[in-house]
């Protein structure tokens, strides 16, 4: 959920982000990433080198994608793919003023992931590819690549099944021999990971 007052110390959000947030509000989509997550996504996307690749799992109403797209200086220098399985949601996202070159996919993360190759930055923000199918997400992370997993604060997981899934993901990430991880307590809690080179 977007909480604009948490963002008051920063300059204005990019126009595309504001448009996506407004679109999410009108469509009553409650699961967009918070500004603290979006700003981190923008920093990470801005650090992906020319020729690099970014993947978002779960486009939602496009807020996270808007942060990423706004951070890319020259469209096409970095390839950006985002996947959403809800066709109505994805259709609504086409109304936003995206820069050219973004690869919007409608489908299931777990079905598409093994077909997409590897990435420098992955934002895992959907059930598929996070609560289930995490191994395919990790397989798609290049050496030196960054994985950002949102909504990892255990205190926000009130349902036992959700808490169990969250704990399993947390354990997989923090004990994985190929990963370096850090907990970021911002917003809904994130885990930031990189694959060892």
Ligand X SMILES: C[S@@+](CC[C@H](N)C(=O)[O-])C[C@H]1O[C@@H](n2cnc3c(N)ncnc32)[C@H](O)[C@@H]1O
Q: Quick check: 64 binds ligand X (CB under 6 A)? A: yes
Of 32, 34, 57, 16, the residue nearest 148 (C-alpha):
57
| Residue 61 near residue 23 (C-beta atoms within 8 A) | yes
Minimal CB distance to ligand X: which residue?
A: 128
Q: Which of residues 135-194 bind ligand X (CB under 6 A)?
A: none
The residue within the footprint of ligand X, chosen from 48, 63, 121, 141 (CB under 6 A), is 63
Burial code (b: 16+ CB inside 10 Å, e: under 16) for 5-40 equals eebeeeeebbebbebbbebbeebebeebbbbbbbbb
Q: Quick check: 85 binds ligand X (CB under 6 A)? A: yes
The conformation of residue 18, written as its DSSP 8-state character, comes to: H
Q: What are phi and psi of 6, to 5 degrees?
A: -75, -10
Which of 126/157 has CB closer to ligand X? 126
Cα 79 to Cα 54: distance, rounded to the nearest angstrom: 6
The residue within the footprint of ligand X, chosen from 36, 109, 146, 190 (CB under 6 A), is 109
Which of 58/145 has CB closer to ligand X? 58
- Cβ neighbours for 49, distance < 8 A, ≥ 6 positions apart: 78, 120
Stretch that binds ligand X, among 4-12, 124-132, 139-147, 161-169 (CB under 6 A): 124-132
Binding mask 26-45 for ligand X (x = CB under 6 A): -----xxx------------
Give residues in contact with ligand X (CB under 6 A): 31-33, 56, 58, 60, 63-64, 83-86, 89, 108-110, 125-128
């Amino acid at each position: 959920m977007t909480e604009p007052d948490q963002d008051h110390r920063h300059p204005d959000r990019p126009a595309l982000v504001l448009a996506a947030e407004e679109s999410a509000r009108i469509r009553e989509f409650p699961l967009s990433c918070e500004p603290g997550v979006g700003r981190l996504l923008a920093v990470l996307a801005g650090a992906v080198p020319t020729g690099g690749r970014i993947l978002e799992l779960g486009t939602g109403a496009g807020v996270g994608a808007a942060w990423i797209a706004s951070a890319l200086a020259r469209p096409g220098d970095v390839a950006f793919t985002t996947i959403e399985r809800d066709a109505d949601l994805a259709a609504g996202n086409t109304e936003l003023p995206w820069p050219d070159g973004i690869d919007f996919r409608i489908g299931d993360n777990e079905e598409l992931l093994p077909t997409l190759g590897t990435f420098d930055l992955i934002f895992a923000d959907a059930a598929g590819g996070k609560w289930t199918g995490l191994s395919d997400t990790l397989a798609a992370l290049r050496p030196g690549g960054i994985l950002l997993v949102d909504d990892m604060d255990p205190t926000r997981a009130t349902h036992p099944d959700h808490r169990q899934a969250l704990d399993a993901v947390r354990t997989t990430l923090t004990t994985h021999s190929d990963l370096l991880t850090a907990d970021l307590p911002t917003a809904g809690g994130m885990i930031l990971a990189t694959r060892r080179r």
